[in-house]
Chains A and B, each alone.
Chain A
């Protein structure tokens, strides 16, 4: 007879096997739970994909996408605080004028090719290369020789960026800038692969090579599929796939309610009712944007080459009331070009409208006869409603104003080509979390995004002094002087600070303040 398992011995084996199975099942099961969470795509309505090139960022949507695809020396956490990324550490010497970044070892691009300090230098020089026509070379203005290089007047060799060895990057600044590690966290400065050329078409979804937490994997209909980058320098993203939805049929709220989206920015009109809705209300989150909507003047042409005229047009606006009437709770009147989250304390006191002073200024500027101002044209992107502003100018200043609107792409093209309207409107998101990101890029003499070409050496000196100041109190005082100069000369009129509204799938975490430009999906997980 063949040997048989004694019954009791069998029972022991069965019990032990069950326990072993439990052990296995617990491990595998828990792994599956975690992995299932990780493998459930995060569906985000990100909008149109306009570029995959960090040198060609034109708006907040581009910033949001490229933040996922590339990495820089530093990075911002969900609260906007700097942390080391490709650089493991850095030293600041020479009185704050020299930054020496020590890159982590064994860094790679998403295709496995090595990434080192020379790639950072190459990427930055590419940003400054005038033949690349980068949209935001100004972010590196603080580096010695950068402005000259970007304007085509200086050589690459004269730019203060050196990579003495593969793990070291030395950067020489024009002046101390405590915010420099915030600049190195902005996607424009992120590292591009060696395949990058001057053209805007070197990077495609099908052949994508990046350095960020995700890689562009495929275009699935209207959805760009982003997959976690196994070669990313930081921790592997908890969510393995992000579906960047470019377009939807119907409205975003319905798409969220139907489970087709997990994260979506919605309009203020929907937010008003959702705030009271028992089903969707818990998913509604409001966030202050790191952006400002402002009106700019062409300060090189009459009549707005005269600060008194500019100031008159600024002073007459009751911004608090006009913004509230136009946007309700979706926006707040701007008191400075710096968004509240980036403002030092007491940067700019809120002041009411001063129509009498405004009219006096116009009289003093030689325009007592308002017809001498000529017809003033305000040119804005199609989505910007200039009606309340223009109506106020017409009514309170007795001036003749017409409004022209343009598609946003045509509008930006015109501005970049130097075709500057008399009065224009821009919504600008801070490139990095510092007041400097606004003052320097929008108002510094010669800055590419200083569309109004305001050129005030005194302002430039004050701004440099603010950059060099150390300590909270000294910095706040220095920036107050900067702001006062802007207020006095009125090269632009800060108009409003937008509030963004989001529907967030419960359980998502790591989204911080829900600020566009800080939403690093590599930090997001599901609870």
Chain B
């Protein structure tokens, strides 16, 4: 009887609960259509429909670049029958021509569901940039306005530059190169994003095999050399690509500069002119070049002349040996040794000797003095009764620092000395006394 009553009560509770329960929230049932749109420099907006409702958790997974080794994951707030995620391109710079692949991931309880993969190539679609393209040898050239002729000229130059670099590095280009030709400075720097140096006339993003050229960057011979320089970077990237260690910047830039003319005569003159002021250590040019005009110019020049020296001293195959070693995850010393047979330190020493220059040494750091606020205040350890020593930080109300106190004391002593001196002078000036 008691059991029957309990059942009746339970049924009543269930009925009441059902009657007053809010409308049932739809359950996630999979992904509907998904879209993506971009406004260059502003936003990339990803949207997906959720026909059955939102899952417990929703993420978007985005792969940036060519065959990315990692996927960026962002949690997405989802409710109702659709969700969206906005990549704020105004604060998170993304290089134009970057390929993106994306998919959505729903986690509902322990069930994980992924959507199909969508793709997008982030395009510089700013107003007025009516891009045209043409396939030229290893390059696809892109231009707008009336730049077709020069763009095609760059395409022609690319073929030769790639072939020469491939031969020296012993590695074929892994894929085609995109070359974008910009007319105006603002449009060009708008593509490069924040942090681009003012003097930049061309730039390469080898990870997405993309070169940006600015027609206002210099005269035509400069632009031709810049194109060769930038394309060479892409070949170098492919030839040395590995996940362990990036080759030193001096080698990368040095090879690109050397490739412009296939010699380093101009750069050797630059180095010679700077010997008296001191050259830059190769260990100092591994990841970044010094700021300032001299440091930057000398870095490029030393890199190019070192490459020139390696080719002349150890033969044309030396660079391919170096590149192959980097591809296999070598250190700088291992790679240089693999290509030349000489350890890196020997190469550097020989280089500086060849210019009659002293080998650069690290500059010792200035010492940082101890704090003047307190000295040697320690607490006892392990079960000892400990009391703040006299030298501990002052009690509240102790206003001055030691420096100030010392300054005042010294000031007093000096001043009192001057008073005494003044008094002596006055006395000496009254030999006869007052009338």
Residues of A within 8 A of B (CB): 6, 8-9, 11-12, 15-16, 18-20, 22-27, 29-31, 33-35, 37-38, 74-75, 77-78, 81-85, 87-93, 95-96, 104, 106-108, 176, 178, 181, 231-238, 251, 253-254, 257, 267-270, 272-278, 281-285, 322, 324-326, 328, 379, 382, 386-388, 390-391, 402-407, 410, 413-414, 470, 504, 506, 508-512, 514, 522-525, 527
> Contact between B372 and A525 (Cβ–Cβ < 8 Å)?
yes
Residue numbers in A under 8 Å from B283 (CB-CB): 272, 276
Other-chain residue from B288, B364, B403, B411 in contact with A525 (beta carbon distance below 8 A): B403
CA distance A523 to B392 in the complex (A): 12
Q: A9-B434, A181-B379, A282-B365 are in contact. List 14 more A-B contacts (CB 8 A).
A: A19-B419, A23-B419, A77-B374, A84-B392, A104-B388, A270-B288, A273-B280, A276-B284, A282-B363, A285-B365, A322-B244, A386-B70, A387-B243, A406-B74
Q: B371 within 8 Å of A by Cβ? A: yes
Given contact pairs A15-B425, A31-B408, A81-B378, A525 touches B371 in the complex (Cβ within 8 A): yes
Q: B3 within 8 Å of A by Cβ? A: no
Other-chain residue from B70, B287, B371, B434 in contact with A405 (beta carbon distance below 8 A): B70
> Contact between B398 and A236 (Cβ–Cβ < 8 Å)?
yes
> Contact between B434 and A27 (Cβ–Cβ < 8 Å)?
no
B residues 289-338 touching A (CB-CB < 8 Å): 289-291, 295, 329, 331
CA distance A100 to B363 in the complex (A): 50
> Contact between A30 and B422 (Cβ–Cβ < 8 Å)?
no
Of A235, A238, A413, the most chain B CB neighbours within 10 A belong to A235
CA distance A390 to B244 in the complex (A): 11
Residue numbers in B under 8 Å from A282 (CB-CB): 363-366
CA distance A91 to B379 in the complex (A): 11
CA distance A382 to B360 in the complex (A): 36
Given contact pairs A84-B392, A276-B281, A281-B363, A404 touches B401 in the complex (Cβ within 8 A): no
CA distance A34 to B400 in the complex (A): 10
Given contact pairs A254-B291, A525-B371, A107 touches B244 in the complex (Cβ within 8 A): no
> Contact between B396 and A88 (Cβ–Cβ < 8 Å)?
no
Residue numbers in B under 8 Å from A75 (CB-CB): 393
Instruction: Name 11 A/B residue pairs within 8 A (Cβ), A-sorted.
Output: A19-B418, A27-B411, A84-B386, A89-B386, A89-B387, A106-B397, A238-B373, A267-B288, A269-B286, A328-B286, A387-B243
Q: B362 within 8 Å of A by Cβ? A: yes
Given contact pairs A15-B422, A238-B403, A26 touches B415 in the complex (Cβ within 8 A): yes
CA distance A306 to B63 in the complex (A): 32
> Contact between B61 and A404 (Cβ–Cβ < 8 Å)?
yes
> Contact between A509 and B370 (Cβ–Cβ < 8 Å)?
yes
> Contact between B422 and A16 (Cβ–Cβ < 8 Å)?
yes
Residue numbers in A under 8 Å from B291 (CB-CB): 251, 253-254, 257
> Contact between A11 and B396 (Cβ–Cβ < 8 Å)?
no
Q: B414 within 8 Å of A by Cβ? A: yes
> Contact between B382 and A273 (Cβ–Cβ < 8 Å)?
no
> Contact between A273 and B285 (Cβ–Cβ < 8 Å)?
yes
Q: B412 within 8 Å of A by Cβ? A: yes
> Contact between B70 and A283 (Cβ–Cβ < 8 Å)?
no
Chain B, 392-435, contact with A by CB distance < 8 Å: what is the 0/1 string?
11111111110110011011101110110111011001100011
Q: B21 within 8 Å of A by Cβ? A: no
CA distance A108 to B368 in the complex (A): 32
B residues 238-252 touching A (CB-CB < 8 Å): 243-245
A-B interface, 9 closest residue pairs, ranked by CB to CB distance from nearest: A281-B363, A510-B371, A19-B422, A269-B287, A234-B393, A509-B369, A23-B415, A30-B411, A89-B387
> Contact between B284 and A273 (Cβ–Cβ < 8 Å)?
yes
> Contact between B363 and A276 (Cβ–Cβ < 8 Å)?
yes
Q: Is the interface of B mostly helix, strand, loop or mixed?
A: loop
Residue numbers in A under 8 Å from B372 (CB-CB): 238, 509-510, 525
> Contact between A410 and B74 (Cβ–Cβ < 8 Å)?
yes
B27: min CB distance to chain A, Å? 21
> Contact between A30 and B410 (Cβ–Cβ < 8 Å)?
yes
Residue numbers in B under 8 Å from A176 (CB-CB): 382-383
Other-chain residue from B362, B388, B422 in contact with A276 (beta carbon distance below 8 A): B362
Q: B75 within 8 Å of A by Cβ? A: yes
CA distance A37 to B400 in the complex (A): 13
Residue of A nearest to B289 (CB): A273
Residue numbers in B under 8 Å from A273 (CB-CB): 280, 284-285, 288-290, 295
A476: min CB distance to chain B, Å? 15
Residue of A nearest to B249 (CB): A269
CA distance A524 to B373 in the complex (A): 8
> Contact between A510 and B370 (Cβ–Cβ < 8 Å)?
yes
Q: B266 within 8 Å of A by Cβ? A: no
Residue numbers in A under 8 Å from B195 (CB-CB): 251
CA distance A203 to B392 in the complex (A): 30
> Contact between A30 and B407 (Cβ–Cβ < 8 Å)?
yes
Residue numbers in A under 8 Å from B398 (CB-CB): 235-236
CA distance A277 to B280 in the complex (A): 8
> Contact between A27 and B374 (Cβ–Cβ < 8 Å)?
no
> Contact between B379 and A74 (Cβ–Cβ < 8 Å)?
yes
A203: min CB distance to chain B, Å? 22
Other-chain residue from A96, A325, A386, A403 in contact with B383 (beta carbon distance below 8 A): A96
CA distance A244 to B266 in the complex (A): 46
Residue numbers in B under 8 Å from A8 (CB-CB): 429-430, 434
B residues 347-377 touching A (CB-CB < 8 Å): 360-366, 368-374, 377
Of B75, B283, B373, B419, the most chain A CB neighbours within 10 A belong to B373
Residue of A nearest to B429 (CB): A11
Q: B278 within 8 Å of A by Cβ? A: yes
Q: B172 within 8 Å of A by Cβ? A: no
Q: B69 within 8 Å of A by Cβ? A: yes
Of B75, B386, B434, the most chain A CB neighbours within 10 A belong to B386
> Contact between B295 and A22 (Cβ–Cβ < 8 Å)?
no
Other-chain residue from A29, A89, A90, A253 in contact with B411 (beta carbon distance below 8 A): A29
Other-chain residue from A95, A108, A404, A512 in contact with B371 (beta carbon distance below 8 A): A512
B366: min CB distance to chain A, Å? 4
Residue of B nearest to A92 (CB): B383
CA distance A148 to B287 in the complex (A): 50
CA distance A9 to B435 in the complex (A): 10
Residue numbers in B under 8 Å from A231 (CB-CB): 396
A27: min CB distance to chain B, Å? 5
Residue of A nearest to B369 (CB): A509
> Contact between B384 and A83 (Cβ–Cβ < 8 Å)?
no
Q: B222 within 8 Å of A by Cβ? A: no
B322: min CB distance to chain A, Å? 16
CA distance A433 to B380 in the complex (A): 15
> Contact between B245 and A234 (Cβ–Cβ < 8 Å)?
no
> Contact between B396 and A107 (Cβ–Cβ < 8 Å)?
yes
Of A324, A390, A525, A527, the most chain B CB neighbours within 10 A belong to A525
Q: B72 within 8 Å of A by Cβ? A: yes
A263: min CB distance to chain B, Å? 11
Other-chain residue from A106, A107, A233, A272 in contact with B286 (beta carbon distance below 8 A): A272
B399: min CB distance to chain A, Å? 5
Residue numbers in B under 8 Å from A93 (CB-CB): 383
Residue numbers in B under 8 Å from A106 (CB-CB): 395-397
Of B289, B400, B415, the most chain A CB neighbours within 10 A belong to B415
Residue numbers in A under 8 Å from B399 (CB-CB): 236
Residue numbers in A under 8 Å from B388 (CB-CB): 83-84, 87-89, 104
> Contact between B401 and A238 (Cβ–Cβ < 8 Å)?
yes
Q: B73 within 8 Å of A by Cβ? A: yes
Residue of A nearest to B432 (CB): A8
Other-chain residue from A37, A275, A386 in contact with B363 (beta carbon distance below 8 A): A275
> Contact between A22 and B422 (Cβ–Cβ < 8 Å)?
yes
Residue of A nearest to B377 (CB): A83
Q: B149 within 8 Å of A by Cβ? A: no
